Amino acid sequence: MNGFLEALEIRPGAGGVVAALGLFAVVAALAGIVNAELPMPGKFVAALVTAIAVGFELRLHVGAHARRRITRAVLAADGHWQIFPADGPQVRGHLSRHWGTSVGPVIALEWQCEDGRCRQAWLVRPLVPADTWRRLRVRLRFA
């Protein structure tokens, strides 16, 4: 059957992997700050702001009460998304942006939902079935 006529279901469950990627990003950013030619107070402030910002973002994405987290999303053949948020009933939404579709092990998706909220999902390649990963990448390229 034509893969474009089938619904495509994704289940982002990569909280631990996203947290590990966030930790890697923090370590890389802190290494850059330490090696920068800044006075010591400037390095301290930059490191503190970086750690707080990344901590806040990770809390939004992988925290137990993440407001933007979804448990499942279904892309219908007509191009509409059904979003199943962790904090309420299913809603319809449209994809507002995505990145990482052509290369790399992560695809980040962001939807604008009918209820006015913005929801996100980060998919990590080893945790998504290969066929689903391939079909999603192809459909996102054509979207």
User: How many whole angstroms separate alpha carbon 133 and alpha carbon 113?
Assistant: 23
Q: Which H helix or E strand runs over 133?
A: helix 130-142
Q: Place 14 in a pLDDT band, splitting at 50, 70 and 90.
A: low
Per-residue pLDDT of 63-118, as tens digits, reads 655 666 788 889 888 888 998 887 778 888 888 888 877 777 888 888 888 888 88
Pairing between β-strand 70-75 and β-strand 8-10 as defined by DSSP bridges: antiparallel
- In order of 11, 42, 65, 93, the CA distances from 62 in angstroms are 14, 30, 8, 21
Read off the pLDDT of each residue in 60-64 and give the average, rounded to a whole number.
Answer: 63
CA angle 13, 16, 20 (to 5 degrees): 135
Residue 31: other Cβ atoms inside 10 A: 10
pLDDT for residue 25 is more than 60: yes
Query: How many CA atoms, within 13 angstroms, populate the side-chain half-sphere of residue 70?
Result: 29
Question: Phi/psi zone of residue 68: left (φ > 0), alpha (ψ -120 to 50 degrees), beta?
Answer: alpha
Asked whether residue 43 carries a pLDDT value surpassing 80, the answer given is yes
